[in-house]
Amino acid sequence: MRILGIETSCDETALAIVEGKGERVRVARELVASQVKIHKKYGGVVPEVAARRHAEVMPWMLKKMLGRERARAFDVIAVTAGPGLITSLRVGVDTARSLAYAWGKPLVAVNHLAGHIAANFIDEITNTKYQIPNTKFQIPNSNRKSLSYKPFAISRARFPALALVVSGGHTELVLMRDHGVYELLGATRDDAAGEAFDKVGKLLGLGYPGGPAVAKRAEKGDPHAIPFPRPMIHSKDFDFSFSGLKTAVAQYLDVQHPVGHPDIADICASFQEAAVDVLVEKTIRAARRVKPKTILLAGGVAANKELRKRLGIEVARQLPTANCRPPPMKFTTDNAAMIAAAGYFMARKKQFADWRTLEPRANWEIGAE
């Protein structure tokens, strides 16, 4: 089955075609138009600007993605219907509805966080020439014959699975009993982990988005230099809180370094250490309760090398029977391949949406109808 995926929930306009067969999903084509440069000057995503940009580039991206193959190239259309910025979601959803009507294709409404989790089920492409394009209208070498794949560890799809979803807008622990069956165990009560990285990046003048920049600086710093707090690390629930950690960094800067911050690498490393400590500790605690066969990591912050490493080490040490492998780096941040992958597993179960009635939902909670 070939699935066209459409993603416009935030500031990336993305299209992909994936092929699903049995438990395996491969990316046939993929395209991402990032708006990072546009939003950089505002220090964050401006919703109105983002939606307008999605609408402007969508027809061109479809032309580029489908070429002469058009409707023959795929069987099902999968679109992110939420959560996200409502005006941005609207562009993807209405594009998908129009295509579904015009080409008579079944439509699947994908939850963005379910999409992030599904990135774990995509075969890794081992060909080093293949790179996710993050510049406008670039298509990677889409001649599939030239790509080599490493099948995702089948064990990643052993259920029940526990997923730590860490993105710019969400931090959640999700129990997955099967493809498409989700139960929310806990979530952040204030800022998301990615948001905390971004805000710390902003405080340190590292630009937008701050996450990758903070992680890079952290590589050269001492993670034990500054004892930042680990909010809610001992609470018995599976919720998170990151706004206090960000405030602690702000206060440290105010008190210690009202002018400039020479130990920027130490600040980044110590902040990252605190955030990773909480994320890993809470995931292990939830795993002890629900006894998953697999532990999955998903969302933009899953690109964080320290988090990938630490979660792997702690699971191996404390939960030796659980399988834990981080998702392919290429599919951690927003992309449409993950949406198409989630759409494949839904289409297999015939969980279709109606183009006449599908509406975007800005606050669609994973697992909710």
Residue ranges that bind Zn ion, judged by CB under 5 A: 167, 334
- Residue 116 beta carbon to Zn ion: minimum distance, rounded to whole angstroms: 6
CA-wise closest residue to 115 among 154, 58, 165, 66: 165
Residues of this chain that bind ligand KG4 (CB under 6 A): 10, 116, 167-169, 194-195, 197-198, 209-212, 215, 299-301, 303-304, 333-334
Between CA 291 and CA 301 the distance in angstroms is 24
- Residue 295 beta carbon to Zn ion: minimum distance, rounded to whole angstroms: 19
Between CA 71 and CA 157 the distance in angstroms is 30
Answer with the entry of ligand KG4, Zn ion, none that 217 interacts with (C-beta below 5 to 8 A by kind). Answer: none
Answer with the entry of ligand KG4, Zn ion, none that 20 interacts with (C-beta below 5 to 8 A by kind). Answer: none
Answer with the entry of ligand KG4, Zn ion, none that 123 interacts with (C-beta below 5 to 8 A by kind). Answer: none
- Residue 199 beta carbon to ligand KG4: minimum distance, rounded to whole angstroms: 9
Nearer to ligand KG4, 75 or 277 (CB): 277
- Residue 298 beta carbon to Zn ion: minimum distance, rounded to whole angstroms: 9
Nearer to Zn ion, 34 or 270 (CB): 34
- Residue 112 beta carbon to Zn ion: minimum distance, rounded to whole angstroms: 6
The dihedrals phi and psi of 249, each to the nearest 5 degrees, come to: -65, -45
Nearer to ligand KG4, 97 or 116 (CB): 116
Between CA 249 and CA 218 the distance in angstroms is 14
Nearer to ligand KG4, 294 or 304 (CB): 304
Nearer to ligand KG4, 23 or 219 (CB): 219
Answer with the entry of ligand KG4, Zn ion, none that 211 interacts with (C-beta below 5 to 8 A by kind). Answer: ligand KG4
- Residue 209 beta carbon to Zn ion: minimum distance, rounded to whole angstroms: 12
Q: How many residues does the chain have?
A: 369
List strand residue ranges (DSSP E) for the chain, in order.
2-7, 12-21, 24-34, 76-82, 107-111, 124-125, 149-150, 161-166, 171-178, 181-187, 294-298, 323-324
Answer with the entry of Zn ion, ligand KG4, none that 328 interacts with (C-beta below 5 to 8 A by kind). Answer: none
Are the C-beta atoms of 185 and 290 separated by less than 8 Å? yes
DSSP letters, 142-190, are --GGG--EEPPPGGGG-SSEEEEEE-SS-EEEEEEEETTEEEEEEEBSS
Nearer to Zn ion, 45 or 274 (CB): 45
